[in-house]
Amino acid sequence: MLGNPTFLFIQTLNALALGMNMFIIAAGLTLIFGVLRVINFAHGAFFMVGAYACFSVFEWSGNFWLGVVGAGLVLGVLAWVLERFLLRHLYARDHLVQLLFTFALVLILGDVVKIFWGADQYSVSYPAGLDGAVDLGLVHYPSYLLFLCGLGPVVALGLWLAIAKTRWGRIIRAATQDREMLAALGINVPLVYTGVFAAGAALAGMGGALAAPRIALAPGMDATIVVECFIIVIIGGLGSLWGSFLGALILAFVTVFGAVLVPELEMVLTYVLMVVVLLWRPWGLCGRPETERV
Amino acid sequence: MHKILRTICATLLALAAGSAAEESEAIKIGVLYPLTGSGAVLGVPALMGHDMAVEEINARGGIEGRPVVSIARDSKVKPAVAAAAARELITREEVDVLIGGLSSAEGLALSEVARQEKVVYIATIPKTVQMTNEKFHKYVFRTAANTDTEARAMARTSGQIGIEKICQIQFDYAYGHDLAAGFIAALPEEAPGAEIVLDLKVKLGTADFNPYIAQIMASDCDGVASGLWGANFINLAQQGKPFGLFDKVKFVSGGEIGAHEIAGKMKGDYPDNVWSNSYELWYHDHVPQHKTFHDKLARRQGTRETSSWAVLGYIGVQFFEAAAARAGAVDGEALIAALEGLTVETPVGSRTLDPRTHEANTGQFWGPMTKTEQYEFRIMDPVTYIASE
């Protein structure tokens, strides 16, 4: 089948679209880890709440894009409150306590979703104008997937510019290096933390909203995505933006071509990939070896 | 003062003894369905039907004067979780019977516990034929349809709508394997001339179907046979539509994606050219008693458009009640003897448990999913009942 160039082309686009959607979600995870050093198990739950929020806003307004923005806002506000009143008190504690906290969030948000939306399954329609296919000469390809392929790099570039070129970005980078010095310079470090956590969660929420037209909204939809996100950031390097971009692409290509070429090994391949990367570069493809933080 | 204390203690003791006596009188059902995670979509309504049946029994004065207590556990669609919960129900709660299970893997796990603990297990949803073939034992009964029945109905539908080249896409676990095998076996008789040109196996939990859709689109099939159930079908449908999948192929599917849980929620997103099945349809009165059942369920759910999985939980309890009444006891051996050959009038027709295989002759409603003027969602129309053989 791979001898057929059309087929190869379509599967490549499939991998790109999948990878870009996953990147947007994983970028939030890596951002949160980079600054807060918190391993956020609730990232998948944020993704799920985002998808449901998009569904509700879409039902109410009929506008998908409003749903995406709404999902970002809902998650941003939710995460702001969570960080400000709960998570903040755990930074001085052991990593394990933070891990337990985010894991508790997974369970609580799972129930919250059931309370608000029930145990039913929902679908979200493709946004108007992106519900068909585009003629690419060789083949017709779904326009929504092409949109995702294009959106990923735009988000990556936008985030990179924000972190590398703006004042806020400099503060965030400084926060990853030395939070005490930053505080001494008169920066409100706790506020930076809250903001980054909210932004990371908003990315997960918008990622969920963007995935919503392609997947069913149902309880448990957060289970696989959180594993995939962790694989992505581990391959790419925890805390590295371009690492998660690369990691998402690699995972997507392995998933798509694994499913076609060696369907019985598809799941194993992903983990083999992770093991190989960890053996070769334990700090990930784009990460830096962890130096002792004082 | 001592006197007062003594009186209080004596009263408390009497109360405790009284309630204990009452407790021991109650018949206990251990019920297991997934109530969280991906299986909750089907497990929650199934438990609702179960609870409705139990409440009706108690309103009638219980079974032989004994009230029925139902103790529910979340099986999470995980065989290990289901098995552990079943053991706990038997040893700690001392339940008299196990009812439920969702996936075929759960069904097999629960059946194994039933065999070891010598407690009757009534499988209400799991369909794998393994439970009643190679893994059969006397404690397991099935009120669900089985994969052979479902596969034969799929093959018959494929023949009737004239599919010749078939792409099969099934889950890579017991249910998918058995449905695929049953379909291939039934094809020569039900759809002579039809052949399978592509056989795809998908890991349960897969959310991205694009790699598979591309393979179907690149093949020369004019029909797809599938058993992707619940949310999995929504994933495939939403991803397949923009590729033109449902313009290219006729989609014949088991897994009850004709149920209102799917059609009612997908509304306009439900794709064209789908033929599927359901255990129950709220808008279809196959037998007169369905109307009564539907009225009660509608009151409970607060909508006329009720869930189709509720009937499965309901039927499981119906069989247990009839067997316990027939046996006059709830111990394993007595229940087995009473269940074998038992006939029950369910809301979707009469069902009999075969004394040899311990399976009910459960068929399903089949038909094309059709757009209507009346509703914003699709309904199965026309509806055909395809019985088991």
19-78 in A: which are within 8 Å (CB) of B?
none
Structure-block tokens of residue B161: 């709508």
CA atoms of B224 and B196, how far apart (whole Å): 9
A215 chain-B contacts, CB cut-off 8 A? 207, 231, 234-235, 238
- Average pLDDT value for residue range B113-136: 93
User: CB distance B205–A223 less than 8 Å?
Assistant: yes
Q: What is the pLDDT confidence band of residue A1, given thresholds at 50, 70 and 90? A: low
Residue B278 has pLDDT above 90, yes or no: yes
pTM here?
Answer: 0.88
User: CB distance B40–A114 less than 8 Å?
Assistant: yes
The answer, for A268 touching chain B at a CB cutoff of 8 Å, is no
pLDDT at B14: 46
Q: What is the pLDDT confidence band of residue A180, given thresholds at 50, 70 and 90? A: confident
Portion of chain B with pLDDT greater than 70, in percent: 94
- Average pLDDT value for residue range A242-268: 90
pLDDT greater at residue B37 or residue B92: B92
A142: nearest CA partner in chain B: B242
Structure-block tokens of residue A78: 């939710």
Residue B232 has pLDDT above 60, yes or no: yes
CA atoms of A38 and A162, how far apart (whole Å): 21
pLDDT greater at residue B239 or residue A178: B239
Q: What is the pLDDT confidence band of residue B213, given thresholds at 50, 70 and 90? A: very high
- DSSP conformational letter for B37: G
Q: What is the pLDDT confidence band of residue A42, given thresholds at 50, 70 and 90? A: very high
Phi and psi based region of residue B256 (left: phi greater than 0; alpha: psi -120 to 50; beta: remaining)? left
* Closest among B131, B121, B122, B129 to B178, alpha carbons compared: B129
Give how far A141 is from chain B: nearest CA, Å: 7
* B38, B212, B237 ranked by CB distance to A218: nearest: B38
The answer, for B266 touching chain A at a CB cutoff of 8 Å, is yes
CA atoms of B34 and B77, how far apart (whole Å): 6
Residue A64 has pLDDT above 80, yes or no: yes
The answer, for A96 touching chain B at a CB cutoff of 8 Å, is no
Q: What is the overall mean pLDDT for chain A?
A: 91
- Average pLDDT value for residue range B337-342: 96
B49 chain-A contacts, CB cut-off 8 A? none
- Average pLDDT value for residue range B92-97: 95
pLDDT tens across A13-22, in order? 999 999 999 9
Give how far A138 is from chain B: nearest CA, Å: 13
Q: What is the pLDDT confidence band of residue B2, given thresholds at 50, 70 and 90? A: low
Residue count of chain B, please give it.
Answer: 389
- Pairing of β B165-171 and β B195-202: parallel
CA atoms of A124 and A143, how far apart (whole Å): 16
CA atoms of B8 and B238, how far apart (whole Å): 66
The answer, for B193 touching chain A at a CB cutoff of 8 Å, is no
Residue A76 has pLDDT above 90, yes or no: yes
User: Picking from B51-60, B292-301, B325-334, which range would have the lowest pLDDT averaged per residue?
Assistant: B325-334
Give how far B256 is from chain A: nearest CA, Å: 14
- Average pLDDT value for residue range A97-113: 93
- Average pLDDT value for residue range B183-194: 95
Residue B5 has pLDDT above 70, yes or no: no
Q: Which of A38-42, A223-227, B154-158 has the highest mean pLDDT?
A: B154-158
Structure-block tokens of residue A285: 């493809």
pLDDT at B333: 92
Residue B15 has pLDDT above 80, yes or no: no
pLDDT at B6: 55
B266 chain-A contacts, CB cut-off 8 A? 123
Give how far B358 is from chain A: nearest CA, Å: 32
- Average pLDDT value for residue range A263-285: 87
167-226 in A: which are within 8 Å (CB) of B?
213-221, 223-225
pLDDT tens across A127-152, in order? 999 999 998 887 889 999 999 999 99
* B217, B239, B261 ranked by CB distance to A214: nearest: B239
Residue B7 has pLDDT above 70, yes or no: no
Q: What is the overall mean pLDDT for chain B?
A: 91
